[in-house]
Each structure stands twice: as structure tokens, then as C-alpha cells.
């Protein structure tokens, strides 16, 4: 196919045919189209967009560029995906809770990159295997109801090429490219029910509610066209979701939640997402019924028992379930105060994520190695009062240099007002093919 003609069509704002889109995805997957031509088409898409039919066609073509799984797990296979955030440890809370209720969670997760954390890194910080064969993966879901693994290289190889080019060509913020990237991997993974956690706020890929809603609608539409049951929930990311940020620290918080020792926004969002997963897996008829089942599993200890089972099944150290405090083990542990008193007015959540990265909990590039011990625990949220000598957070660092860099970033990320401030909204809406349901 004449690839320059495809670029020209999109350059002038014309809709691409399914055949042209298939050639684009195939060329990205097998290397038959050079990067400079792929990059040119990516920029044309970024500038002129794609309609719903084109976006769905691109997603399916990317999904079909590699292996397409058909998971047989003894029930309805369901998965959850987050668009990325800071302190977002929902997977380690909701996966064991949902499995304890009888759902079959076949979850594929990613590593952290940029300001966002990755579930795979958190699991590996306690020795868990995140690379399983397809047979091992499916067998584990059949046996214990859940498995969490890293993304297979055989799934959606076109996305791997295009994702790297988007990062290098300033085309990351294209809605059809974001939606097709996320959904191509989910369609290739083969799960029947998918719940998407689309973040809204200063730490989100789409900071505004309007942008996040457009992204949610696009992904739900793609799922509907592909015959999948997809629901998207819009949740807040104007501050870290959990209080703990950093790999072992986030595992610690998830365990403490499942032990019934703490609650807060992380648990609230986990229960809401989990309730929709139970509906998708036909374990519950309504989200309200699903949330009751999850709460019962939390209070009975069944969720913690399932997390222990998951850790053991993937080779990790389950003793952390008995002693989560051992996960706060960085060489330097110190408190950080702000120079003024008042009320927490706002947070630059992206900058807080980069502070965690500066400590060594994240990657500046994919080849960087992380330090699983480092991070910070926030003691204040937006709307809270704070005194000048009161700790905003506790930092966990490997050395004085990274401690100083991260401390400066955290101070710049948190804005204080002399006047009382409202708490942040946490739950916005649920998006299905039938429409949008506001949570308030």
C-alpha cells in the first residue's frame, strides 16, 4: 500500500479506511514501514484526529498485530485498568477482594514510567514473579481466582512501536492514540469484562473532567464495537490516591487496608471499582450488591487471605501480610515540614510523582532500575489544616542527595492557603455504552 498517500489523506483531514489503518498497524508491528513515516502519520493523527470508527479500527488492528488470547478461567474473565496516577494501589486491594468474592481476575499490569507508578514494580518489591507462561497464568486464575502479570511482548506489538514513537514525537496527548493504546492491549488479552479507572486532575493524563470524559467515552465505545463489556469510572487524581507513594510502601498500605487497620480514599475507590468488576463477572447484579460483598470480604479477613494466596502463588514473601511494617525500611527516614501554617489548598500531583521518581522509586527512562525501599507517606490531604512545625509527610530515601531533591519538589508541589479549603472530589461518574451516571 502507498504509505505516503495514507499520510497525505490524514494530513488533509480525510478519514482513513480500515485497509489503510490495518497497513499502519502491520507496518508498526513488523517494521515494514520506517519510523519516519510512522511518526509523520502519528503527527497527522494528533493534529487532525480520528472519528469513532477510525479509532475503533485502529484499536482492533493493533490488537490483532500479535497474539490474541482467549482465557478459559472457569468463569467470566475480568480485568481492570487505570490510566495512571500517584499512590494508586487499587489493584493490590481490589484484586484479592474481588477474587475472595468469587470473581475471576485475569489482570495484566505495567511498570511505572514518568510520574506514575506500576503494579508490576510493587509486586516485584516483595519478590513476586510477574512473568508467567499463558498456561501458568490461566491455571492460577482457575485455581485461586486471580493472577497479576506484566504485559506480554506478544500482545499488541504495534502498540509497543507506536508508544515509543509517540513519546519521542510529542504526540502522547492524542485522544485516539491514547484510547487505542490502552484498549488494544485489553482486547488482545481477551477478558470479557473490563473496568477502566480514568483519572481526573493534576496527576492525570487528561487533567480536566471534560477531557477525561471524552477519553472514557472513546474507550467504552471501542469496547462496545469489539463486543466487550466495558465500564469506565472517572475518579480523582488532584492529590495522591493513597497516603503511601513508593513501591514497598504502597504494598504496605494495601496490606494495612486489607488488615482493617486503615481506610480512606484508596479503599473508597477500590471498593467502587471492585463493585463494577463483580457486576462484569456476574458475581453481583448491581454495584451496590457488589460493594456489600466486598465489604464483607474485607471485614471477614477473606481479602487479606486471598492476597496472601496470590503472593505465595507468584513466589513472593507472604510474611509481609503479618508484619507490613518491615516494608518501611529505607536507610534514611525523616519528616518534612512546610515553612507556613494554614490549609492545604492544592497539590501538583504530577510533581509529587516526580519527587518519588527523584528518590529512586520511579524511572526517568525504561532502562532505569528502581529502589523498592524509597518513597514518602503523606500525612495531609487537600482541605486539611497544617501547622508550620507539623509534618506534611515522612520521606524514605537512599541518600542525602535524592532526599534534598525530592524535598524541594514536594515543597513546591503543595500550596497552602490561610483560609479553609474544601476537600477534593473523589468519585465523579460511571460511563457505559448506555450513557453517563454521575456519582453526586
Place of cell 524535598: 407
User: What integer pLDDT is reported at residue 108 of this predicted model?
Assistant: 84
Residue 426 has pLDDT above 70, yes or no: yes
DSSP string, 101-131: TT-EEEEEE---BTTB--HHHHHHTTT----
CATH 3.40.1030.10: which residues of the chain? 77-322+427-438
pLDDT surpassing 90 at residue 326: yes
State the Cα–Cα distance between residues 1 and 23, nearest whole angstrom.
Answer: 7
Residue with cell 480525510: 14
Strands (E), 145-223: 146-150, 193-200
pLDDT-based confidence at 352, cuts 50/70/90? very high
Specify the pairing of strand 193-200 against strand 77-82.
parallel
Average pLDDT in the 387-395 region?
A: 95
Q: What is the mean pLDDT of residues 112-119?
A: 74
Is residue 366 over pLDDT 70? no
Q: What is the mean pLDDT of the chain?
A: 94
Domain with CATH 3.90.1170.30 in the chain: 326-417
What pLDDT score was predicted for residue 110?
A: 75
Task: Supply 367's cell numbers.
Answer: 532502562
CB atoms within 10 A of CB 74: 12
What residues pair up with 437 in beta bridges, in sequence order? 430
pLDDT in tens, 139-160: 999 999 999 998 777 888 999 8
Confidence of residue 113 (pLDDT cuts 50, 70, 90): low
pLDDT at 173: 85
Q: Which three cell numbers stand for residue 34?
A: 520506517
Q: What are the catalytic residues?
A: 81, 159, 166, 181, 185
CA dihedral 382, 263, 120, 401 (to 10 degrees): 50
| Residue 114: band (very low, low, confident or very high) from pLDDT cuts 50, 70, 90 | low
Query: What's the pTM?
Result: 0.93
Centre a 10 Å sphere on the Cβ of residue 210 and count the other Cβ atoms it contains: 10
Helix (H, G, I), strand (E, B) or coil at 238: coil
> Is the pLDDT reported for residue 387 higher than 80?
yes
Residue length of the chain: 440
User: In whole angstroms, what is the distance from residue 303 CA to residue 48 CA?
Assistant: 47
For the segment(s) 77-322+427-438, the CATH number from 3.40.50.1700, 3.30.1330.10, 3.40.1030.10, 2.170.130.10 is: 3.40.1030.10
For residue range 47-87, list pLDDT tens digits in order. 999 999 999 999 999 999 998 888 889 899 999 999 888 99
Q: Which fold has domain 3-49?
A: 1.20.970
**Confidence grade of residue 112 (pLDDT, cut at 50, 70, 90):** low
pLDDT tens per residue across span 202-239: 999 889 999 999 999 999 999 999 999 999 999 999 99
Maximum C-alpha span of the chain: 67
| Closest alpha carbon to 405 in 320, 347, 336 | 336
Q: What is the assigned CATH class of domain 326-417?
A: alpha beta
**pLDDT of the residue at 362:** 84
Where, residue-wise, is CATH 1.20.970.10 in the chain? 3-49
How many other CB atoms are found less than 10 A from the CB of residue 338?
21
* Per-residue burial over 352-385, b = 16 or more CB atoms within 10 Å of its CB, e = otherwise: bbbbbbbbbbbbeeeeeebbbbbbbbbebbbeee
Amino acid at each position: 500500500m502507498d504509505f505516503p498517500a495514507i499520510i497525505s489523506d490524514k494530513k488533509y483531514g480525510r478519514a482513513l479506511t480500515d485497509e489503510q489503518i490495518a497497513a499502519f498497524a502491520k507496518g508498526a508491528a513488523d517494521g515494514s514501514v520506517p519510523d519516519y513515516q510512522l511518526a509523520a502519520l502519528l503527527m497527522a493523527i494528533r493534529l487532525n484526529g480520528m472519528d469513532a470508527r477510525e479509532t475503533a479500527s485502529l484499536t482492533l488492528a493493533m490488537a490483532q498485530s500479535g497474539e490474541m488470547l482467549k482465557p478459559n478461567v472457569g468463569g467470566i474473565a475480568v480485568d481492570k485498568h487505570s490510566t495512571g496516577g500517584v499512590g494508586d494501589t487499587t489493584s493490590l486491594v481490589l484484586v484479592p477482594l474481588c477474587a475472595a468474592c468469587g470473581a475471576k481476575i485475569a489482570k495484566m499490569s505495567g511498570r511505572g514510567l514518568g510520574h506514575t507508578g506500576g503494579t508490576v514494580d510493587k509486586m516485584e518489591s516483595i519478590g513476586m514473579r510477574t512473568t508467567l507462561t499463558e498456561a501458568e497464568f490461566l491455571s492460577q486464575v482457575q485455581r485461586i481466582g486471580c493472577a497479576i502479570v506484566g504485559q506480554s511482548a506478544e500482545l499488541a506489538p504495534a502498540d509497543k512501536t507506536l508508544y515509543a514513537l509517540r513519546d519521542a514525537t510529542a504526540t502522547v496527548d492524542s485522544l485516539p492514540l491514547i484510547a487505542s493504546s490502552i484498549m488494544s492491549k485489553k482486547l488482545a488479552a481477551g477478558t470479557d469484562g473490563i473496568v477502566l479507572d480514568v483519572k481526573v486532575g493534576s496527576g492525570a493524563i487528561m487533567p480536566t473532567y471534560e477531557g477525561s470524559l471524552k477519553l472514557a467515552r472513546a474507550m467504552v465505545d471501542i469496547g462496545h464495537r469489539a463486543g466487550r463489556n466495558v465500564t469506565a469510572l472517572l475518579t480523582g487524581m488532584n492529590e495522591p490516591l493513597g497516603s503511601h507513594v513508593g513501591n514497598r510502601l504502597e504494598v504496605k498500605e494495601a496490606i494495612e487496608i486489607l488488615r482493617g487497620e486503615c481506610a480512606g480514599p484508596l479503599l473508597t475507590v477500590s471498593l467502587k471499582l471492585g463493585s463494577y468488576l463483580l457486576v462484569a463477572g456476574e458475581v453481583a447484579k448491581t454495584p451496590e450488591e457488589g460493594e456489600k460483598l466486598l465489604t464483607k470480604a474485607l471485614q471477614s479477613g477473606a481479602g487479606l487471605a486471598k492476597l496472601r494466596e496470590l503472593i505465595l502463588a507468584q513466589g513472593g514473601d507472604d510474611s509481609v501480610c503479618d508484619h507490613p511494617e518491615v516494608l518501611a525500611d529505607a536507610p534514611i527516614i525523616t519528616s518534612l515540614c512546610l515553612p507556613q501554617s494554614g490549609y492545604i489548598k492544592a497539590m501538583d500531583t504530577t510533581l509529587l510523582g516526580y519527587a518519588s521518581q527523584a528518590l529512586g522509586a520511579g524511572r526517568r527512562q525504561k532502562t532505569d532500575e528502581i529502589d523498592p525501599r524509597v518513597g514518602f507517606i503523606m500525612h495531609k490531604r487537600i482541605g486539611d489544616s497544617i501547622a508550620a512545625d507539623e509534618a506534611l509527610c515522612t520521606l524514605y530515601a537512599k541518600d542525602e542527595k535524592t532526599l534534598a531533591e525530592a524535598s524541594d519538589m514536594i515543597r513546591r508541589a503543595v500550596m497552602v492557603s490561610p483560609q479553609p479549603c474544601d476537600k477534593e472530589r473523589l468519585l465523579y461518574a460511571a460511563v457505559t455504552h448506555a450513557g453517563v451516571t454521575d456519582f453526586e
